Amino acid sequence: MKTLKQLLADKLRPLAVVAPSDTVFHALAVMAEHDVGAVLVLDGEQLVGIFSERDYARRVILHGKASKDTAVRDVMSDRVAYVTYAATFEECMALMTEKHFRHLPVLNEDGSLAGVVSIGDMVKETISSQQFLIKELERYIVG
């Protein structure tokens, strides 16, 4: 199975990021442009939050706020769980399952943002790894 570093290196898309002062409308536009369900919120180079479709539904729409008048900082999740490259896929999946979220930032050892993995990335890599293992076992058995 790949490492987190290898998985992020294989992802060719640029990161979907916004600033805390950006409007929710802008964040939604960035999500649509990148075809993702969450954006990372960076203050300069520092990760300060994450804003997801769930945040939009629960903190904007249900409270009657206007997306063009609401700053991301006012509705983002600012207690962001993250991992470093040392984390295993199993640890990432367990954290995402336990906390009920689909996007997990990965930080470098110096605390800078390395990237983000989604539950879809985790499932895809797990399936790929299992398929490889099955082929290797079949080759071993057939000899």
What are the structural domains of the chain? Answer: 4-142 (3.10.580.10)
* Tens-digit pLDDT profile for residues 69-78: 999 999 999 9
pLDDT of residue 129: 85
Query: Sheet of 46-52: strands edge to edge?
Result: 17-18, 38-43, 46-52
Read off the pTM.
0.85
Return d(Cα 48, Cα 42) in angstroms, integer: 6
Which region holds residue 114: left if phi is over 0, alpha if psi is between -120 and 50, else beta? alpha
Q: Would you tell me how many other CB atoms lie within 10 Å of the CB of residue 91? A: 13
* Tens-digit pLDDT profile for residues 16-75: 999 999 999 999 999 999 999 999 999 999 999 999 999 999 999 999 999 999 999 999
